[in-house]
Amino acid sequence: MAGHSKWSNIKHRKGKEDARRGQLFTKLARQITIAAREGGGDPQSNFRLRLAIDRARGSNMPNDNIERAIKRGTGELEGDRLEEVIYEGYGPAGMAVMLEALTDNRNRTASDLRHLFSKHGGNLGESGCVAWMFEKKGRLVIDKEAASVDEEALMLEAIESGAEDIEVEDNYIEIITAPGDFQAVKESLEASGYVFDDAEVTMIPTNTVEVPADKAAQAIRLLEALEDLDDIQQVYANGDFDEEAIEAGA
Task: Domain 83-131+208-249: state its class.
Answer: alpha beta
The reply to whether 133-205 shares the fold of 83-131+208-249 is: yes
Instruction: Give me the residue spans of the domains in the chain.
Output: 7-74, 83-131+208-249, 133-205
- pLDDT, mean over the chain: 87
Higher pLDDT, 49 or 213: 49
Is the pLDDT confidence value at 139 over 70? yes
The tens digit of pLDDT for each residue in 193-220 reads: 998 988 989 999 999 999 998 898 899 9
Task: Kindly report the pTM of this predicted structure.
Answer: 0.80
pLDDT of residue 149: 83
Query: At the fourth CATH level, which superfamily is domain 133-205?
Result: YebC, transcriptional regulation domain (3.30.70.980)
Tell whether the torsion through CA atoms of 226, 66, 187 and 195 is positive or negative.
positive
pLDDT of residue 13: 53
Is the pLDDT confidence value at 7 over 70? no
DSSP per position, 76-137: SS-----EEEEEEEE-GGG-EEEEEEEES-HHHHHHHHHHHHHHTT-EE--TTSSGGGEEEE
Task: Domain 7-74: state its class.
Answer: mainly alpha
